[in-house]
Amino acid sequence: MLDNLTQRLAKVVKTIRGEARLTEANTAEMLREVRLALLEADVALPVVRNFIGKVREKAMGKEVMDSLSPGQALVGVVQQELASIMGADLGEKASQLNFSTQPPAIILMAGLQGVGKTTTVGKLARYLRQDKKKKVLTVSTDVYRPAAIKQLEMVSGQSGADFFRTESSEQPIAIAQAALDYAKRHFYDVLIVDTAGRLGIDEQMMQEISGLHQALSPIETLFVVDAMLGQDAINVAKSFNDALPLTGIVLTKLDGDARGGAALSVRHITGKPVKFVGVSEKLDGLEAFDPVRMANRILGMGDILALVEEARKNVDLKAAKELEKKLKVGGRFDLNDFKAQLEQMNNMGGLSGMLDKMPAQFRLAAQGANMEQANKHVGRMAGIINSMTPQERAKPELIKASRKRRIAAGAGVQVQEVNRLLSQFEQVQSMMKKIKNGGMMKLMRGLKG
Ligand code: GDP
């Protein structure tokens, strides 16, 4: 995500951090680099100007100039300003969904066709169901595309939300009102209304969604925009913002090779907070947007917080506890445990998912390594363990030459790979022996934060 910008800015940050003295000349040079990096990432020009102006003013200020490490202080200013243009100045609450209304809280989705609106409804529904334990109903008013209605039905099913069935012969407003009525009678917490999009800004589409807005008075009107649109994202955002009282923005496809500048621009241009970002096609690919965290990530300070949160969500504490208990009573760390650990790693989004959130310098170092291959490798190792009998998994020393051949054939790999796995297992096993009582839980608790 935002790789180019991150790499470029991380380089600038590294240089200025080391500067013992800031002069007008090296500050100007640094600002030029930052400006170029932002423009290259498709950040809108007025946003770049505003940003550079503010940083320059502060850089020349007493606080930075007089500080013990001016380079470090300047990085602080860049970080603050970056977070501020992305919405940190709106306050922490701005990026959260508002539920302060009589249920059902209505979320109206707006945006062009193909930007990921329906997918985002599914992701939001999943988030509200699983993380917030809300009772969620979804409805589509896209009467022009029956396929879009089907798609919403499918993602709603996957997300655990209920879907309000409609006919495309009905009118959008009538559909929305019927869904609202149903949601009220069945005590839903949230009603998410998906709407029809067009390929471009279109008068009729705008009128339709304005009508829906009037009829529903939603507490949230979220504008969904595709980060891949680059500079255009900003123009589209502006048009929707002028036509509708938006309450927030969802920026999708930040995982693509989007230059990501839209993330920095949309909030500044519309004055509305980015509430979520889409980072994959899957329903769990939605992240709450946090401007400070995003600024840190862009500046190559990494997103350790997100990593910890991810780990917190996925780490199976019960499994860790059980393993600890087993080791405590003198049990042996065996191949079953090893496999559970491999699976744990996969749950954390695999190696590349974790790496994406690491500070840039780590990522640069790891660039040589082929992450995709590394992820595959983990999958193959699990495959090898799957071809073993329960007895072999519990007592790896049973695995001699003929068993190795059978296991290799079963997993479709060479015998050498089975050998490699066994020697890796032995390494981990001896490490496990060294972890004193309680060590495992301590490790996990560390992740729990
Ligand atoms: P809609 O026409 O706005 O409802 O768009 P869809 O929800 O049908 O999405 C259009 C395409 O974008 C689909 O192929 C989605 O899988 C894809 N998509 C949506 N959100 C994301 C995202 O955050 N990342 C990626 N990579 N693809 C996405």
DSSP 169: T
Check whether 436 has a pLDDT greater than 50.
Answer: no
Cβ of residue 302 lying under 6 Å from some atom of ligand 1: no
What pLDDT shows up at residue 22? 72
pLDDT band at 128 (very low <50, low <70, confident <90, very high): very high
Cβ of residue 119 lying under 6 Å from some atom of ligand 1: yes
Work out which ligand 1 atom sits closest to the CA atom of 119: 7
Q: What are phi and psi of 35, to 5 degrees?
A: -60, -45
Count Cβ atoms within 10 A of the Cβ of residue 67 and give its class: 0-12 exposed, 13-18 middle, 19 or more buried. Answer: middle
Cβ of residue 195 lying under 6 Å from some atom of ligand 1: no
* R_g of the chain computed on alpha carbons: 26
Q: What is the pLDDT of residues 212-234, one digit of tens each?
A: 999 999 999 999 999 888 778 88
Domain boundaries 3-88, corresponding CATH code: 1.20.120.140
8 annotated among ligand-binding-site residues: no
Buried b (16+ CB within 10 A) or exposed e, 319-353: ebeebbeebeeeeebbbebbbbbbeebbebbbbeb
Residues forming a β-bridge with 272: none
What pLDDT shows up at residue 257? 61
Residue 194 C-alpha to ligand 1 middle, in angstroms? 14
Q: Whose CA is nearest to atom 6 of ligand 1?
A: 116
pLDDT band at 150 (very low <50, low <70, confident <90, very high): very high
Q: Whose CA is nearest to atom 5 of ligand 1?
A: 116
d(CA 409, CA 413): 6
236 annotated among ligand-binding-site residues: no
Cβ of residue 257 lying under 6 Å from some atom of ligand 1: no
Cβ of residue 280 lying under 6 Å from some atom of ligand 1: yes
117 annotated among ligand-binding-site residues: yes
- Cα torsion 233, 238, 243, 244: sign: positive
Q: What is the pLDDT of residues 348-366, one digit of tens each?
A: 555 555 555 555 544 544 5
Q: Would you kindly state where each structural domain of the chain is located, as residue ranges?
A: 3-88, 92-301, 308-448
The two tokens of residue 396 are 């790896």
Domain boundaries 308-448, corresponding CATH code: 1.10.260.30
Q: Whose CA is nearest to atom 28 of ligand 1?
A: 281
pLDDT band at 20 (very low <50, low <70, confident <90, very high): low
Cβ of residue 375 lying under 6 Å from some atom of ligand 1: no
Check whether 306 has a pLDDT greater than 80.
Answer: no
Work out which ligand 1 atom sits closest to the CA atom of 155: 7
Cβ of residue 140 lying under 6 Å from some atom of ligand 1: no
Cβ of residue 284 lying under 6 Å from some atom of ligand 1: no
What pLDDT shows up at residue 448? 39
Q: Which pairs from 319-326 meet CB under 8 Å and 24+ separation?
A: 319/344, 320/440, 320/441, 320/444, 321/441, 323/440, 324/437, 324/438, 324/440, 324/441
Residue 115 C-alpha to ligand 1 middle, in angstroms? 6
Say if strands 274-278 and 286-288 run parallel, antiparallel, or are unpaired: antiparallel
Residue 417 C-alpha to ligand 1 middle, in angstroms? 39
Instruction: Indicate the top mutation candidate among 195, 281, 289 to test ligand 1's pocket, ranked by most ligand atoms within 8 A of CB.
Output: 281
Check whether 449 has a pLDDT greater than 50.
Answer: no
Check whether 90 has a pLDDT greater than 50.
Answer: yes
SS (H, E, C) 312-377: HHHCCHHHHHHHHHHHHCCCCCCHHHHHHHHHHHHHCCHHHHHHCCCCHHHHHHHCCCCHHHHHHH
- The verdict on ipTM greater than 0.95 is yes
Q: Which residue has the tokens 């744990």?
A: 344
Cβ of residue 145 lying under 6 Å from some atom of ligand 1: no
Cβ of residue 278 lying under 6 Å from some atom of ligand 1: yes
Q: Which residue has the higher pLDDT, 414 or 30?
A: 414
pTM above 0.80, yes or no: no
DSSP 229: G
Residue 117 C-alpha to ligand 1 middle, in angstroms? 7
Average pLDDT over residues 236-249: 93
CATH architecture for residues 92-301? 3-Layer(aba) Sandwich (3.40)
Check whether 303 has a pLDDT greater than 80.
Answer: no
Q: Which residue has the tokens 């423009």?
A: 39
Cβ of residue 252 lying under 6 Å from some atom of ligand 1: yes
112 annotated among ligand-binding-site residues: yes
Q: Whose CA is nearest to atom 22 of ligand 1?
A: 253
449 annotated among ligand-binding-site residues: no
